[in-house]
Structure formats: structure tokens, C-alpha cells
Structure 1
Amino acid sequence: MANTSSHTRRVRSPMFIDRRQLLGAGAALAAFGLPRLAHSQSGPIRIGQSAPLSGPVAGAFQGPLAGQKLALDTVNQRGGIGGRPVELVLLDDGYDTARMVENVKLLVERDKVVALTGLGSTAGVAAVLPYLAQTRMPLVGSWTGAHVLRLRPHPSFFTSQASFKDEVEHSLRTLATIHMDTVGVAYQDNAFGELMMPVVETAAKELGVNLVARAPLAVDGSNAADAAKALAAAKPKAVLMIAVGPSVAGFVRAARTSLNVPVYTLSVAASSVAPLGAEARGLAMTQIVPSPWRKVDAMAREFNELAEAAKVPVDYSSYGGYLGAQFLLEALRRAGPRITPDGIIQAIQGIRNWSLGGNILNFGPDRHHGSAWAEITIVDSNGRFRR
């Protein structure tokens, strides 16, 4: 994968760190004394990110990273923030929780970043949130929408997009409205899927949707055919799929053969539509990013121009990464001229009625998650999303 910015360094975790120490890192963070962190007010504004550049779901992050790169490269070409370039320090965690914990500590303590952005796994974010609270290190945007991470107020965790809970409720409400209220669930057989199933069950009960069957789905999609057959035996009117990465394509293909009912899924599965080609036709997907093709918004127009010039595909994944970076950049602008972690936190808390690509965000001292907006799109035979 190409570098994420002209001011980006990609660093891998040191291989000499004892793995048992890493596995205990999340629980141990709260027990250790934390260093006093100093942040330079000259030179680049350094931002940290840990993401799966390798591993089973790396492909799902290529689009968001490409869109993020467009935004950061563009602001740097225009002189940066207050005359300072924005430097992204990006570390690969391979979608491994222990590696993310270690990466975040390196970014904060060694690289002296002023903020983190775009952390990429539910379990990983859960593991680092206590450390971020103690260090007062802002996490400005995350690529996991797990509702469980937002249940308790956190002093430095901010999001600009709806949660997975918001998406699940929107999908199930839509199914109930059109009387397709007998539903099977295919859920990813990992921390993501396990955390989401109670959310699905609670929402279904509240909305009067009958969950007739549940089937675990391997992360690599290797049991997709068996999962589809297990759900088919319960005769659902529709299926809700909670998955990301290669399991999405595997299950969609298996569902066309075994189920022949509508499949609804979450926005996190958007990167699987292009590889599926015509086989994605009819897939219903919630979106928590405004349409990148709706060029009435200035951000959408600029994104399309930049994407065309850089030969980046225009889709929800890349536009989501672009908007996520715009949220970060707005926080940095408002935190100036002296940009510190506390200044960024205060700046985001002061955002009111700000449009992020047409999605209106509102924050406050007790409101750190700025949006619950979602809509349903349907994939057509050409792989395009229809609203």
C-alpha cells in the first residue's frame, strides 16, 4: 500500500517485545504511572493512527485510508494548519488488539502525537480507552461504530458518525415497516460480532422483529455456505448480516444460492461491494456517510475533484475516510494557535451545527458523539448504491 501522506511515516511494532507482556497491556495500563507528555508547538502537527494495514480485514481499510490521504495531502499542499504541516504517524496492528495497545503507547509516549484518529477495531479501541482517559489523549474519529464503546462518557473519545446500534435499529425498523419482520442474523465470529448480537436482540425486541435464527460467520468467510444453509432452514423473510472483510462476499454469494431473501448489512461492509461485482445486486446497506455523488455539498464536490486527479475510487469507503480527516482538521483549526491535546478536546466540545459533508454535527461537554444519522441504500446491477 502506498504511503498515506507525503508527511506520513509507517512504523511497525518492534519484534523484540514479549508477546505475554503485550497480551496483558490493556489491563496493565491503568496500573502504571504515566509520563508527563510534552508537545512541540513548532514543526509538524503530529497525529497518530493504528490500523490494520495487514491481516484478514486489511482490504476493508484501503478505501478509508485513501480518502484520508486525499484530505491530509490537500491541507498540507495549502500550507497546513496555521502554517504547520499535519504529519500522520501510521502503525500497522494487523487487526490484533495487543498490537494496537502497544502502537498507541508508542504513538503517545515516543512520537508525542497531539491526537489519535481512525483506530480500526472494536476490541482494540475498548482496550485503549482507559489509557486515553488517563493521558487525556483525544481520539478524534474511529472506524468502529460499536455502541458498547459509547455507553459510558469518555473524556477524550469523539466520533462524527452514527454507531452500529443506530444502523441496526434503522435496518430493523425498515424491515418491520415493510412487514419483513421474520429475520435471520449472520454475525461475525469474533469480538465485533459478539458485541453486536445483544444490540441486535434488544433492538429486534423493541421493534417487534422476530429473530428466527442466528449463525456465526468465520472472519475469513470459510463457513459462509454452512451459515447460509443454517439460516435458510429457519425460513426468514430477510437476513441481517453483521460482518466486515472477506466474510461479507462469501456470505452474499452463499445467500444467493441457499436463501434467496433480501440481505441487509452495515456500512462497514461497503468495501466488499466492488469485489462482488454483479453478485452484490440487491444488497441493502445502511450508510452513515452522506452520498459522495451528491455534489450539492462543497465537500463532496472537492472530494470528487481530488479523487479524480489522484485516481482514487469515488465510493462511501473513500469518502468516509476523507470526511473523517476533515473532522480531525476542523478540530485542529479550532484548537489553534497553540495546538495541544486539551485544546483539541475543548475545540470539539465547542462544535455546534457544523456540516460535515451535509451531516450536521453537534458536540458538547457531555456529548462526544456528534451524529446518529443513517439511511438505507440498495446496490444495483452495476455496483452503484441507490438511495
Structure 2
Amino acid sequence: MTRLQFTRRRVVLGAAAAVGGSWVWPAGAQDGDIIVGQSAPLSGPVAMAFQPPLAGERLALEEINRKGGINGRRIRLVLLDDAYDTQRTVENVRQLVEQEKVVALTGLGSTAGVAAILPYIAEKRVPLVGIYTGAHVLRLRHHPYLFTSQASFKDEVEHQLRTLVTLKMTRVGVAYQDNEFGKLMMPVVEAAAKELGATLVASAPLAIDGSTSVQAATALSQARPMAVLLIAVGPSVVGFVKAAKAGLNVPIYSLSVAASAVPALGADARGLAMTQVVPYPWRLVHPMARDFHREAAAADVPVNYNSYGGYLGARFLIEALRRAAPNITPDNIVRAIQGIRGWELGGNPLNFSPTNHHGSNWVEITIVGPDGRFLR
């Protein structure tokens, strides 16, 4: 098989080709392939934010398939577009389970979409191995078939607020995305602020396309916060940060999911504080980081948190499949993940058990420096 080239243009074209149908990778699927399914927003308001992690996933899958797959079996990913729409996510998952006969799902990105499919995958006994949403509500109750490898948004918010309280910046405003994601997060922010001794002086909703950014920044400025938490992803991050730089002028702390907005922000990204749930991609002491840099360089994929997060997410999936071999079934995958103890995903130790399906709560804060570089 010829090596695929993952330039930014190729990723965009690959995503566009998948809209309305399925994107099966690698091409030329064979009998005996290990079939895994994914529903992700290849179109719609947050499509651009998902291109880097999808590119990272493909690097890891191409790498393992080039080396012979799992016990000689290639991993075949069937990716369906959900346009960040909950109903389409549900329909896609049903198609993947009932028609494609996947042994596992991976990389779902919508909080509402994941919540909607949890009863279904429990009924069908199909594991969801890794998600691109850190929503705490998805982790409140033990689910027998949901596994995560990254800290939750609650972990991120608590880390941000704990840092602000330590810095004596206790008057905090919140700009939150005006959709299920933002609305589900607001009670989490309120509870964490109360517990940690911060005062939420104001909150303002943000349209997902960023069109209400100026209004949100203006509303928050009237409450005179000492810092602002930004609970958003995609275009609204760009719009709000630019509006806040012009009219609010206080530190902004964003969640890790906002990292994809840094290139679009340009110079306005400088000084933005951002929690990270993925290890620092440029720290090459860990073998996975070195593997990622080698694969990314060969495929012309930019090295950043989102592409590395996608790569690590796929490596988590690959490890689960490897441990479940040779008889790779949904139930064996579940048992394999539950047996993981102290296994390092890019330097982040994961620990699971039959009663703990969320392998990490590790978080750190980075600052965006000159030229969009992240500083630890």
C-alpha cells in the first residue's frame, strides 16, 4: 500500500469526501480486518477543530498496519460524518454496530452525542474506547462499555480555578458556548468555584459560530472580573478571544479543546492560558512522542496538541486491541482495558479496573507564547 500523505489540504479533502457517507480507511479492506467505527464532525460548525486529531489517528493506524497490524490483522476504521448533530451520531453508531459489525467504537466528539448512544452500546455490548469530550456528566455513573484516557473538563476547570485562587484572582467571569456542551458545563463550573473559594461575578453565552462574542465580552466587562474562563470550542473561541482582547483585557483561561483555535487567532492568542490533558508533544523523552514526531514528519502533519491527542487516542485503542488478541471481541476488549495498570500513554500513566473506566485525571496549564507556541 502506498503511503498516504496527510497535508492539511489532504485532511480537508478527505473529510469533505466523507460527508454524507462513510470513509473507510485503509482503502482496499480485506477479510480478517479488525473493524473499528467512529462518528465525528467532518462537516458543520466544529469540523475544522476535529481535523488535527483525525490526522493524528490516521498516523497511528497507518503505523501499526505498516508493521503488520495486530497478529497479522489490519485495523480498518470506518468513519461517518455526524456534523456535530446528536441524531446523526445516534444513526451513525447504529449503522456502525449493526451493518459494519465493528468490534469497538472510538473517538466520538460530541457530549450530547456520546450521552445519547450510551444506552445503546450498553444494550449491544460494544465498547467505546476513547472520546474527544471531557464532559464530567458522562463520567458520573459507571458505564460498562465507556472508557476514557484523558482527564475530564471538570478536572480542567478545577485546575484552572485552583490556580486562580492561588494567584488571588478570585473574581471570575465565564463565557460559555450556548449549546449542550456549554450548558452542561456551567453547573460544574459553579460547583467548583464554590468549593475552591472563587466568586463567579458574571456569565455570558456564546453562539457556536462566534457571532455574539462582542456582546459576551461587553457583558462580562461590566462585572469587572479579574479573569475569565472560556468554555468553548471552534469558531466561538476565536471570536471571543479577539473581542476580549479589545474590550476586556483580563487573563483568559480556556479548556484544552480550544487548542485548535490558536492558529486562527494569530497574534491574539499570545498570553492565552490553556489547560492540557495531553502530554507536551515536544518533550521527546517518551518513545510514543518520538514515534509521533517521526510519523508526523513523514506525512507532513503539523505537530500540536490536537494531532498528538488523536495519535495517543489511537495508540490507546491499539493497545486495547493488542491485549484482547488473538480473539478480538467486544467483551475481550473490555476485559483487556480493565486490566491496564500503570501503562504510559505518551508519559501519562493510565490505570483502569472493573469499577474504574476513566484512566487519567492529569492536567497542566500552558501559556500561548510568541508565534503560537505553547509554554509550560
TM-score (norm 1): 0.91
Q: Mapping of 1:78-157 within 5 angstroms?
A: 78-157=67-146
3-state secondary structure, aligned to 1:295: coil
Aligned to 1:166: 155
Q: Which amino acid aligns with 1:234?
A: A
Q: Does 1:285 align with 2:274?
A: yes
Shift of 1:278: 1.2
Flag the 1:101–1:2 CA change in 2: closer, same or farther, 3 A. farther
3-state secondary structure, aligned to 2:220: helix
Structure 1: where are the runs of 5+ without partners?
Answer: 15-40
C-alpha contact (below 8 Å) 1:42/1:84 kept by paired residues: no
3-state secondary structure, aligned to 2:371: coil
Flag the 1:364–1:104 CA change in 2: closer, same or farther, 3 A. same
Aligned to 2:25: none
Shift of 1:206: 0.2
- Root-mean-square deviation over aligned CA pairs: 1.5
Aligned to 2:39: 50
- Rounded to whole Å, the distance in 2 between the matches of 1:3 and 1:74 is 17
C-alpha contact (below 8 Å) 1:13/1:103 kept by paired residues: no
- Rounded to whole Å, the distance in 2 between the matches of 1:158 and 1:12 is 28
Aligned to 1:316: 305
Shift of 1:13: 5.3
Shift of 1:42: 5.7
3-state secondary structure, aligned to 1:255: helix
**Of residues 168, 171, 178 in structure 2, which corresponds to 1:179?**
168
**Of residues 40, 48, 58 in structure 2, which corresponds to 1:59?**
48
Per-residue deviation, residues 303-335 of structure 1 (Å, max 9, x unmatched): 111111111000000000000000000000000
Q: Mapping of 1:198-217 within 5 angstroms?
A: 198-217=187-206
Tell me how many residue pairs correspond in the alignment. Answer: 358
Shift of 1:381: 1.9
**Of residues 327, 331, 336 in structure 2, which corresponds to 1:342?**
331
- Rounded to whole Å, the distance in 2 between the matches of 1:127 and 1:91 is 16
Aligned to 2:180: 191
Flag the 1:254–1:11 CA change in 2: closer, same or farther, 3 A. closer
3-state secondary structure, aligned to 1:172: helix
Per-residue deviation, residues 132-172 of structure 1 (Å, max 9, x unmatched): 11111000000011000110010000000000000000000
C-alpha contact (below 8 Å) 2:19/2:43 kept by paired residues: no
Flag the 1:279–1:250 CA change in 2: closer, same or farther, 3 A. same
Structure 2: where are the runs of 5+ without partners?
Answer: 1-8, 23-29
Aligned to 2:231: 242
Q: Does 1:12 align with 2:20?
A: yes
- Rounded to whole Å, the distance in 2 between the matches of 1:232 and 1:264 is 15
Identical pairs, percent: 69
- Rounded to whole Å, the distance in 2 between the matches of 1:11 and 1:48 is 15
- Rounded to whole Å, the distance in 2 between the matches of 1:327 and 1:295 is 19
